Structure 1
Amino acid sequence: MHGIEGTDAAALAKLRALPVVDIVGGGETDGQGGPRIYPGPILDGKFVVETAEKAYKAGRQAKVLLMIGNNSAEIGGGFVNSSTTKEELFSVFGELKDEAKAAYDPDGNKEFAEVQARFNTDWVWAEPARFSARAFTAIDEPAYVFLFDYVPSYMAERAPCGPGHGTDISFAFNILEQGGGFGPPPTPSAEDKEVTRMMNAYWINFAKTGDPNGKGLPKWPLNNPKTNQILEFQRDGKAVGETDPTKARLNVIEKAMKSRDKIQNRGGI
């Protein structure tokens, strides 16, 4: 690529002289009109020698406490797969098609946009988060998992499927009035403020003690594969410790990930 060959100092100098646009390709697609691609670590065998997934499976991750989770509708559209209908999307699961349909659209009445957003979320964020929590539990490190499904009042019309990527940040860091990247919002509602209070307190407690729980907060249960307990910030503003309500979806995603050639143009872990 770019006519640069060799591994000597001259080749390195040429690589360093390349403009940024030549390195990233001018965007996040594989050529004009091509599928989305994203820059990331390169397995060069020296600096980066294995994927995080491989390291976690082997128990080589850092021995630290873990808090991990995702928003309920991280991103919509063809982020992972270019399907344009529910039937087309379920078909990419191959022999898991019926299981995927039962998990994502059991009554057959969900809008494609919602199913697609859930699929994107589970493939790139939620199932990898569950995998990570299990990996840390396996080396006897506590893991706390959350699902953020609360939509602030001023974004209700813009986020019918649930909160998108990054929406949780303004709650966790108690900066709701700054809009969390969506511009200055109207005055937060009492419900918005209560969700902010709880979420910010959980994060502070975890940073201070390694346990997010504390006075005035609903119990956040430890996660482990046997109970699959998480804390959900629900759409109504309540924080509830419960068995993961997305378990069926994540189970079929986990199976699909074991046969990754079934789903093309996917995101990754």
Structure 2
Amino acid sequence: MAVFHDEEVSSVDQRFAAMKGLPTPVQDEYPMLISCKSAAATFPLQILLDCLAAGYQPNAWIDAKPHCRNFKRIKNVGIGFTCTDRDLVSKLGGLAVKICGRSFTVKKYSEYNHLYWVDVLLSDDTTPSDIWEYFTLHGDQPVLLQSSFSKNAIHSRHITVYFSSQRVPACLLLGPDDPIREITVHNHVCIVTHKLSKFNRVTPTSLLKRTQRAASTTPAPASSPDSPIDAPRSRLRNAQPLITRCSPHCRVVQRSRIRI
């Protein structure tokens, strides 16, 4: 504390003294992610960091810890952090770490991961080249298109489109918090899923219309007939009176003709 009361100490030195508890700034930082959606949704950041700092983690993770920083919990995604050593980045990719008793994998580093991306569900008559042309014509040229899912040389038809910055492309926004969930390419509708999960709460227009159309054509349920228990009562209510006369001297007896 003495440095802050010494008038001869410059403001620059005081700044360094105040920030000495933070990691030393470096030029190279590589963004990485531990894919643990369930853990990130369940536990606070302190619990997650306690697990990552524990001694039961793999040796490769323990050795890399001094070069990892800026940990943050990303809702519905996992734990984001940066690594300052390029060689360690390659070693961490694919490594399994334990968090709250479960194993989760560190995603392999990609220079595109920190960029904004969208998943595009292609219609039957739309190609990836059509998607490239669409975004380029709208002023947001993609830097990478790849299959959304790939496993052992098996690739999905639907694609992920990466853009050149971390911002949401202007052509995918009607307003600051009004995302576009579908695009029309050559008269064919393609559904868009955003990197930002909050934007995916908006239902695509075509799906909304389809749901409303299905609801309007659903026939109303027919009224159910009387149950066996209620049937006699119903017949009793609807029965016609029958008048019989025993003899001229008998009283008129009124009863109901009931068929059960």
If the TM-score is normalised by the length of the shorter chain, which range does it land in?
under 0.3
TM-score, length basis structure 2: 0.25
| Structure with the larger RCO, 1 or 2 (CA within 8 Å, 6+ apart) | 1
Per the normalisation by structure 1, the TM-score is 0.24
Structure (1/2) with the larger helix percentage: 1
